[in-house]
């Protein structure tokens, strides 16, 4: 179906149930990448302001917290991170 989108006419298809990947480009802007069976892909500019995302097990992702900073990155095994020793994990006494 076609709809008026801003000052343009857009061909619209539902995104419901589509699996894609969030990719950060060279300009630090994210796109939603949808792969085709051929291996080619389409990158979609993200304008949606509160899109729900579920991280799959295949993404091998983890949340990190350093002080007040919260980060979503690859898992420790992907990044080759070493686990802290028990001594490093304990808070320092003052």
Q: Render pLDDT for 57-71 as a digit per residue (tens, 0 to 9).
A: 999 999 999 999 999
CB distance 75 to 63 below 8 Å: no
The three-class DSSP label of residue 65 is strand
The three-class DSSP label of residue 72 is strand
Of the chain, the end-to-end C-alpha distance in Å amounts to 66
pTM: 0.77
82's tokens: 């070493």
Question: What pLDDT digit, counting tens, does each position of 15-58 carry?
Answer: 999 999 999 988 999 999 999 999 999 999 999 999 999 999 99
């Amino acid at each position: 179906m076609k709809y008026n989108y801003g000052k343009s006419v857009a061909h619209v298809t539902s995104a419901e149930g589509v699996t894609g990947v969030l990719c950060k480009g060279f300009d630090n802007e994210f796109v939603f990448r949808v792969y085709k069976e051929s291996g080619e892909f389409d990158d979609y500019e993200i304008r949606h302001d509160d899109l729900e995302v579920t991280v799959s097990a295949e993404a091998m992702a983890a949340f990190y917290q350093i002080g007040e900073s919260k980060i979503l990155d690859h898992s420790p095994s992907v990044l080759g991170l070493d686990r802290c020793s028990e001594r490093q994990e304990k808070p320092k006494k003052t």
